[in-house]
Structure 1
Amino acid sequence: MFRDWPAVCTERSWIALARSLPPRARRGVLLSLVCLGAGLGIGATQASASPFISSFKPNPQPSSSTVPPNGDQNPYGIVTVPRSVGSLRRGDLLISNFNDSANSQGTGTTIVQIPPGEKFAEGNAPVFAQIDPTKLPGPCPGGVGLTTALAVTRTGFVIVGSLPTSDGTFKTAKAGCLLVLNSRGKVVETISGGPINGPWDMTAVDNGIFVTLFVTNVLNDTVATSPKVVPEGTVVRLTLLAIPGLRPAVLDEDVIGTGFAERTDPNAVVVGPTGVALSDDGTLYVADSVNSRIAAIPGAFFRDRAAQNGGQTVFAGAPLNDPLGMTLAPNGDILTANGGDGNIVETSPDGRQVTTVGADQMGGAGVLFGLTVSPHVDGIYFVDDGDNTLRLLEP
């Protein structure tokens, strides 16, 4: 059973003290603890002179179907499990599905768990969690429609975004929430309201007890102003207390980036800021999908004011083409998955275009979303929405 988190604070007076501080002081204390615990280095990011994906063979064949027994489709988020705990196994891949079996967008309720090297036929992908929208422990406006926002902590919490619809279209899209699951796939908390409005993608910094999330949001005035492009997309930073056996709690939340372009889309519900990745020097990179741009928010951990106008531009234009999923390569370069043409692009932190590799042999628009660099293989795992599969791009 999960106990309410305030009981923990009474046992740990330093946490109670942090919460009693004024917002700016509290933020500094909490984020310092997170950085110290996570071993985050603050220094210049140096990208390797050697490209990461230049030797990778293009257009890999499917490794496995991502369709579970209930028929959910449209795999969006993907993350590598860092440590074995509960039902989670180190190195396994968690994948969130955005659509249901009827291919209705914003109605997917499953996270599948696929061990590397194992291949499953369509309809047989192992289920880590199937979330019942009627049995949530807290509010999640609109229900459940799992997005690219997906993270897993070393202590076994899985956090996934929900941007739900009732009919598969942007007209019924609701604010949704972040769903927090335990290591057995049970939802133990929801995070909603405030700046959480259509959580679309996410990255996490995890030290086991404190977890900092950076979440892109795409529903701020998007539906009301459809089909116009509006500069209302945001990046939100949340600090969580996440102790196994206890109910996770939000200790601090701040909007650290504003002004990102977003719009409704009949084929994707919404288009807006998507993938995020945090460098060793504390710079948060953001995939600006509408403008085919990589943005940067410096000092993402400690800033107390939002970067405006969509942050600083690292690079914009070709070969970026509707960049969606994002992660960092081992050499520090930025990897983005193009939704517009099925390519994966490697960009250096100073904006140099390093190399581009085709990931989908059809080259179709909208087939790539999430991607992850697993420490257990020399390659990139990514999901292919075109045929609902997991694939591995490797040498």
Structure 2
Amino acid sequence: MFWNHRAALVVVTALLATSACGGNNSVPPAGSAGNSMSQLLNRPGEQPSDVKPANVDTTSILKRLKKSVVIGSTVDPTNGDMGPTSINIAGTTLGKLKKGQLVVCNYADSSGTAGNGTTTEILGPGANTQPVTFVADARIKGCDGDALSSGNFMYAAGHTSGLLSAFTNKGKFYKSYGPPLQAPSSDVDASNPGLYSAEYMFTTDSKTGSIVSFSINNYGNPRPTQVVTGFDVNNGSGWNVLGPSGIQYSKKLDALYVVDGVDDTIVQITHASNLLVKDEITILPGGTTFKCKHKSVTCANLIYHGSPLNGPVAMTILPNGNLIVANTIGGNKLVEVAANGQVLDTRTIDKSSIPHIFGLRAIGSSDSNAALYLTDTKTNKLYLWKQ
């Protein structure tokens, strides 16, 4: 647990500043724990030897995934929104969501115009299920993130609206968060079971090149704070937006993982629960080196840089701690990277110059039962790849 003296001072200050504004989303307490790793410098295409975990599993899961199952169409049944992106899985049965069901964002409207989608769908977990609208709201326009809290509240990132909007587990609007967010591009809930522990929401922004954090329960810092800055962005539009995205959280390590499609990097942020002050970490130009205000508290590591990464946007953590990333340039290719930066496998889904894979979510408890959900904007379907 990271409820230390430094955290207490920051949070007390934040609570005093925001007490006049009311409370926040009351959900079951959750916190984090992990081990720090030192900042390091890296040459493109090389990985740091001094941050290799002690027991890295270099088994390729991607090689094992031979069977593809159609879970269902992601086209919204009410307004025809399409273009599926982010995938999240309900960890419990609360409200309209049952444990194991999936929530998918639609980034495009019924005409296929990217950035105009305003819906999220409930699907699965079984094959050939029909989508059910969970939320339809203009505040999530350009939906490209749909993180679920421990209480099944959904935090939807509206890339076009510029808002991160919270909805109850029944799909009712709860609250929106704006500045410092401008173009949220992905989000993740960082929760761990633990008494008096904060449950943080981390959101990437493809316009400011930052990560914004705030607590959604009664502990931690409730004020949206830009805790990481400096990721490179391309100021693109539609399906061609690149910058920090695909954010994932490792409970085991209390670490964030982020891809940047401009620099073709995978970056790890250590001790995510200690990201409490503005611009705690700065990603320096080029995306491979970092400046950290408190290196012993939280910092960044370069996991990988360069080919075969090519405009990555989506990412997921496998049960063994390794990563699968989806490219959006040079064909729709998946890249599997071990926690020590070793490339384990690649798989080309199609060679189209149009990007299609914007949502990935791994499931399972071990190498033997690991599987992968992915969305495809070419077919507007959600798939499960199994062993």
CA contact (8 A) 1:53 1:346 kept: yes
1:22 equivalenced with 2:22 (yes/no): no
Q: Give the letter aligned to residue 40 of structure 1.
A: A
Q: Which residue of 2 aligns with 1:240?
A: 216
1:344 Cα shift?
1.8
SS where residue 119 of structure 1 aligns? Answer: coil
State the percentage of identical aligned residues: 24
SS where residue 327 of structure 1 aligns? Answer: strand
Q: Matched residues in 2 for 1:153 and 1:251: separation?
A: 15
Q: Matched residues in 2 for 1:347 and 1:364: separation?
A: 23
TM-score if structure 1 supplies the norm length? 0.75
1:161 to 157, 163, 168: 157
Q: Which residue of 2 aligns with 1:386?
A: 378
Any gaps of 5 or more consecutive residues in structure 2? Answer: 1-7, 18-26, 38-52, 291-300
1:298 Cα shift?
2.8
Q: Which residue of 2 aligns with 1:128?
A: 134
Q: Which residue of 2 aligns with 1:113?
A: 122
1:261 equivalenced with 2:232 (yes/no): yes
1:62 Cα shift?
3.6
Q: Which residue of 1 aligns with 2:24?
A: none
Label 1:307 to 1:218 Cα distance change in 2 as closer, same or farther (>3 A).
same
Label 1:91 to 1:381 Cα distance change in 2 as closer, same or farther (>3 A).
same
Any gaps of 5 or more consecutive residues in structure 1? Answer: 1-16, 27-33, 134-142, 165-173, 221-232, 244-248
- Output aligned runs, 1:201-240, within 5 Å: 201-207=186-192, 210-220=198-208, 233-240=209-216
Q: Which residue of 1 aligns with 2:35?
A: 42
1:24 Cα shift?
12
1:251 equivalenced with 2:222 (yes/no): yes
- Output aligned runs, 1:1-395, within 5 Å: 21-22=12-13, 37-38=30-31, 40-42=33-35, 45=53, 46-57=55-66, 60=68, 62-69=70-77, 70-120=79-129, 125-131=131-137, 133=138, 143-164=139-160, 176-193=162-179, 195-207=180-192, 210-220=198-208, 233-241=209-217, 251-268=222-239, 270-279=241-250, 280-303=252-275, 304=277, 305-309=280-284, 310=287, 311=290, 312-340=301-329, 341-358=331-348, 360-361=349-350, 365-375=354-364, 378-395=370-387
TM-score if structure 2 supplies the norm length? 0.76
RMSD after superposition: 3.0
Q: Matched residues in 2 for 1:87 and 1:61: separation?
A: 24
Q: Matched residues in 1 for 2:166 and 2:218: separation?
A: 10
SS where residue 358 of structure 2 aligns? Answer: strand
Q: Which residue of 1 aligns with 2:22?
A: none
Higher relative contact order (CA 8 A, sep 6+): 2
